[in-house]
Structures are given as structure tokens and as C-alpha cells.
A and B are shown apart, each in its own frame.
Chain A
């Protein structure tokens, strides 16, 4: 028994495009380390995470709902709170931007953390088992993706009431489809490969074949998709909140941009600027990092 197992591992390691496989990660890491853009973007993302954590601990940008100046006070570099000016109630736009950052990061993180594994396992199961499971699955995701995202998002947030939870559910329920589709396709390809056939011959369970053998081989898709989902969740929050079905009662970037709709005409540009610049930077960082990851992980390009 023991011997067999060893053989299996060896067969597998030999059979899957191994030296490439393992060194793909190492290689990728090497490539990434040499990419100054990727480093810079990682620093930015790390910075956002730190700010979000500090805000969660009420160490920075707190309290956001205190009056720090007059209604629509102009930006004033004398203090951190007034740096980006004041909103209609004289609250600090800087603090609100930071709070919005915290909300955006948690939405991005939660959505990506749930949607990607969920989509991946759904896609894996469908692709691996095929047959009627696959048919039902394909029907399900085609149906969901045939309903416009916005309509679906609005309906779900109506159903669950507004707030963070509704937002998470809504975003997750629309964003798992993309990765599920990709993983399903990969599984259909991979399950015929020799290493899987070999594992099968040696009596590996379905579970272990799916999660121990095939999934690691397609995991670079997950990483890429993670950064993409993170980004689109942030973007979606802003649009949904703007349309009145998102976060309520808390300063989010969407709410700030919504306020700005009425403020621009009176020359109050700082709230829009604060929210859009903060959002731009993180989305840009995620975009570039995503590109770098793709370049690093995909040996074909380069």
C-alpha cells in the first residue's frame, strides 16, 4: 500500500508537466519580483488594506460623522480632516473617503473570497462529472447570465433589504459565473489527461482527484480571477449605491458620488474627487497587478 502510494506521487509528479508546473510558480514569482509595476501596485494594495484595518479599529478617519467645519467648506490643508473639504453637514470628506475605502475593501474581499471558491468548485464539479450534472449547471449559469446583471443585482437587494449583506449576496451571485465557466472548461480538458487517468487507476477518490490533482493545475486562473472580482466588486458597489440599492447610512464611495450629482452645479467638486481618486488608485493597482500576474503566470505570452 505504502509503495503504491509513493509510486502514485511519483507518477503524478512525473506525468503532470511537473518541472514546469512547480517551477511555473517559482518562475512566476521571480518574474513578478522583477516587475517594478507589480511591486508598486502590491504596495498600494497593501496600503489600502492597512488603512482599511486602521479604520476598522477607529484609529484613522474617526469619527467620520462629526462636524469638522461648515457645510460645504472648501478643502483646507491646515488639518488632515479638512484636507478634502466638508460635505453638506460639515463632515470631513477625507474621513468619509477613508470609511468608504474600508467598505470598498471589505466588499471586494468578501465578494472575491466567496465568489471565486464557489465558482471554482461549481465549475470543477460540473466539468468533472459531466452528464446531467453538467447540463443542469450549464442551464443554470446560462439562465443567470442571460438576465442583465444590473436587474439581478437590483432584484436581490430589494429582496434582502439594503445594506452590506444584501450587497455581498447580490455581488457574489452574479460574479461566480465567470470563473465557474473557465474552470469547467479546464476540468473537461484536464480530466482526460494522463495524470488524472493514472490517479483514477490507482483508486483516488473523486474528491481527491478534483481538489488535490486537477485544481492545483488550474489555480492560476483563480488568482487572476480573484484580482478581477475584487476590482469589479468595488466598481459594482459604487454603481449600485449610486442607483439607491446599495449601502445606506454609511459613507461609501457610491454615496459620495451620488451626493456629488447635486453638488457639482454649485462648484463643490471635492466629494466627487475624493471618492473617484481613491477608487481610481485601487482599481488601477488591481488592474496592473492583474496584468503582471497574467504575464507572470502565463508562459505563452512573453
Chain B
């Protein structure tokens, strides 16, 4: 177990390096010159040169890349070019709003979907199941933009059930402003989640032990709750765990539309401003979280399923 962890953590180094390389190459070649973004509308050539020198943008690219690697190794990401705020502070400030959106949305979606998945697979083949599956597919087929735009327009603008967008740091404000995006998130992801859980549960019901239990005369609800649910938890839990680290990142689209000042909107702003330090930091943080999620999934697998060995 311990050696597994150590090996996996060492194994992330080449990946982090790869991510750093790709991000560095992509964003240093494209996306505009940050010096030009900082210089303002009355720029002079001399001032641009000043900024390049001050921020080390005049150094050869390999040296700049080494600096980036150094920043990653020391976890010192410096300051944003655009807002001049400390990037670590920006991230700290962004995590709260992002999590306020994603955590309740995720929990709600998971609970609702698992419950529905159970109900639907219990009535497998019956009319409820068929209708539910069709609804799921329909839900999955609607564009996320349509959900957001129609939701904002009809529920918030027309019916005035929710504020259209915005964010408030007070507790009440959070609930008020985030209710609509969370609700939309639920509808948006429910389709595929319910289907996934349904499949996972159904796969269990076709196992031999279920048949045996049924043959022994165990009542159907009992089979379901005692045997099927327990065993189908493996795919469910792993699926759920994999998503957890990503919750920190919030959502590019939701944050953009609803004006939530989370990490997603910080990243988009950085892209719009050629804010290289922020782009690079965010890419690094995101990749780290993804890798972390993968390791966690492997661990959980081993914990819930004794057949899996960590080696």
C-alpha cells in the first residue's frame, strides 16, 4: 500500500512535466504578448521593452521554461499579470465559490441519481424503466447552453424564481444565487448518471449470487437492498470518487454564465488577458488534481474490492 502510493506519486512527475511542457509551448507561442496587455493604450516601444525585461519575457524560451519548472517545484507561482494579485490568493479566493457551486450540485446529483437508478432498475423492463431511460437520453441530448440560457431566461428572468446571476459571499447570498445553477447542473448531469447507475446495478442483478438468493426464496426488495445495492457500490463509488478532485475547479461554463467568481472564471479571464502566470498555474493545478483523482480511484478500488491488488 505504502509502496504503491510512493510509486504512483513518483509516477506523476513525468506527467506533470508533460503537462508543463504542453501548456508552456501552447501558450507561449499563441494567445498574444502579455507585455502588450500590460502596457495600456498609450504604449511606447520603450515601455514594452521595460515590461519584457521586468517580467523576464525577453529571456530565451528554454530559460523561461526552466523558470516555470522551478515555480512548480517550489509551489511559488508569483503574481497575475492582469490583476497583480498573488496567484495563490486568487486560487484560495476562487476555491470557495467554486466549491459552493459544485459540492452541493455534485452531492445532490449523486444522491438523486443513485436513488433513481435503484428505483428504475428495480422496475427493470416495466413502463417506469422505459420512460425513465427515454427521459435520460432526452436529458443527455439537450445542449448545456440550452439548459443555461432557457433556465436563466424562463426561471430567472420571466418567472423571477431565482436571481439571474451573480454571487454573494454571505451564506444566504450563496444559497440564493447558486440555487439555479445547482438545479440546472442536476438536470444536466442526471441523465447520464442515472443511466450509469442503472447499468451498474443491473449488471449486478444478473450475477449468479442474485439468482441463488432469489431461488432460495429471498424476497425481491430484500435481494435488492441487501445484495445488489451493496455490490453495485463498487462502480458507483469509484465513479463518484474520480469526480471529487475536479469539484474544486468549478465549471467554466456555469461560472461564466452566472458570474460566479470561482476558479473556472479565473481561468477564462486569464485566457482573455494573456495572463500567462495564471494560465500556467491553473493548468498545473488541474492536472495535479486529475492525477490525484486517479490515484484515489485506484485506492478505493482496492479498498472496496478485495480482488484488486495494489502492485
Contact = CB atoms under 8 A, between A and B. Distances in A.
A265 B154 CA distance: 10
Contacts of A158: 26, 30-31
Interface stretch (B15-23, B110-118, B301-309): B15-23
A154 interface: yes
Contacts of B153: 264-265, 269
- Give the interface size class of chain A: 35 or more
B228 to A, nearest CB: 16
Contact of B137 (A265, A269, A284): A284
Nearest to B137: A287
B98 interface: no
A107 to B, nearest CB: 14
Contact of B157 (A235, A261, A265, A283): A265
A239 B145 contact: yes
A176 to B, nearest CB: 15
B203 to A, nearest CB: 8
B26 A280 contact: no
Nearest to B140: A287
Contacts of B72: none
A239 B23 contact: no
Contact of A143 (B18, B26, B138, B142): B18
Max chain B CB contacts within 10 Å: which of A139, A142, A235?
A: A142
Nearest to B145: A257
Interface in A143-177: 143-148, 150-152, 154-156, 158-159
Given A155-B27, A264-B157, A291-B137, A143 B145 contact: no
Nearest to A290: B137
A81 interface: no
Nearest to B133: A291
B77 interface: no
B141 A280 contact: yes
B91 interface: no
A260 interface: yes
Nearest to B23: A147
Interface in B157-214: 157
A143 B19 CA distance: 5
Given A143-B15, A146-B19, A242 B145 contact: yes
Interface in A244-290: 257, 260-261, 264-265, 269, 272, 276, 279-280, 283-284, 287-288
A280 B137 contact: no
B131 interface: no
B31 A139 contact: no
B149 A156 contact: no
Interface in B262-288: 267, 271, 279, 282-283, 286-287
25 contacts: A139-B15, A142-B18, A143-B19, A146-B287, A146-B291, A147-B283, A147-B287, A148-B249, A151-B267, A159-B30, A242-B145, A257-B143, A257-B145, A257-B146, A264-B152, A265-B157, A269-B153, A272-B150, A276-B146, A279-B143, A280-B142, A280-B143, A283-B140, A283-B143, A291-B137
Interface of B: 14-15, 18-19, 22-23, 26-27, 29-31, 137-138, 140-146, 149-150, 152-153, 157, 249, 252-253, 267, 271, 279, 282-283, 286-287, 290-291
